[in-house]
Copies of this chain bind each other. A is one copy, B any other.
């Protein structure tokens, strides 16, 4: 993944609709992130979607609200983390989340970014935008760190818990198009796709995975076969496909283990004054280490298979992390992710 602003291939403007009310922190995170993003992306226009008076009153708004490439789009309601899907979908029709997605539907923005509740965002996005022809179910894709420093894209991460082989095939196509558009490494013109399994051999796995392997071999993508979960962190493939139950367990395992290891390391380094003194001289190395495993750099999950570009930031993202979600949405537009997905689906059907 490249957060670099040099990745825009065009001088046309790119407009992103940003749900500035979403996430655990809301405006205090989203407004500084938007201000920084405008500074580094001179062809970007941002629609700040949310409660207009709160946006204007926020201390972080500063000169942002008068910026020539900012527009405020008022939305009177907010989808909370506790709202049931039905509330997000049927009752709060003027939520910042819904109005953000509406901008993509109406063509006033080319992509939407929200840090709101994942389930609600997927439900609203699917309801408003609909799925692409040839896609039964949208999926959620995110990037995991790997030894190559390129990141491995994994999908689905929880949108679909009972998947068929055909669903896994569609995820592979969507993942391939996403990586072509949003990452910039040697392999990303024709990303290598692995099918998550519990062994490399064709006879391994459950029935759905075995069937998916057969389908994927007939698909116009760079399918490299079965891979095991540890390969995700080694690198070697750009995309890993699995059902949403498995993908969700995978991501939560990685989150839980990372947190435990970080906590243990900090506990040991700081548990006494002599430990703290000893640790001080290792700080350059430890800070470099912390930067390398900083999962904020991988923030921004893609909602794929929709008739529009939607990215989801982690709810607890800070402004630095939220900037990466904006970057990924921007890249997906700049490099025509939707067109690439559609072309792949047409190839599959022809």
Instruction: Give residues in A with beta carbon < 8 Å to B.
Output: 145-147, 158, 161-162, 196, 198, 205-207, 209, 228-234, 242, 244-246, 248-261, 263-265, 268-269, 271, 275, 277-286, 288-289, 292-293
A261 touching B260, Cβ below 8 Å: no
B261 touching A258, Cβ below 8 Å: yes
B252 touching A229, Cβ below 8 Å: yes
For A260, give its contact among B145, B161, B248, B278 (CB under 8 Å). Answer: B145
B residues less than 8 Å from A230 (CB atoms) = 252-253, 255-256, 259
Please tell me how many copies of the chain the complex holds: 2
B253 touching A250, Cβ below 8 Å: yes
Q: A198-B161, A261-B261 are in contact. Are A253 and B256 (CB under 8 A)?
A: no
B258 touching A229, Cβ below 8 Å: no
For A257, give its contact among B258, B275, B280, B288 (CB under 8 Å). Answer: B258
Q: A198-B244, A264-B293 are in contact. List 14 more A-B contacts (CB 8 A).
A: A198-B248, A228-B252, A230-B253, A233-B260, A246-B246, A249-B249, A250-B250, A253-B254, A258-B261, A264-B289, A265-B265, A268-B285, A269-B282, A282-B286
A245 touching B278, Cβ below 8 Å: no
Q: With the chains together, A229 CA to B283 CA distance in Å?
A: 31
Q: A228-B252, A229-B253, A261-B258 are in contact. Are A245 and B285 (CB under 8 A)?
A: no
A257 touching B254, Cβ below 8 Å: yes
Q: A231-B256, A233-B260, A286-B268 are in contact. Are A249 and B292 (CB under 8 A)?
A: no
A256 touching B229, Cβ below 8 Å: yes
B residues less than 8 Å from A209 (CB atoms) = 245
- A157's closest neighbor in chain B, by CB? B198
B242 touching A249, Cβ below 8 Å: yes
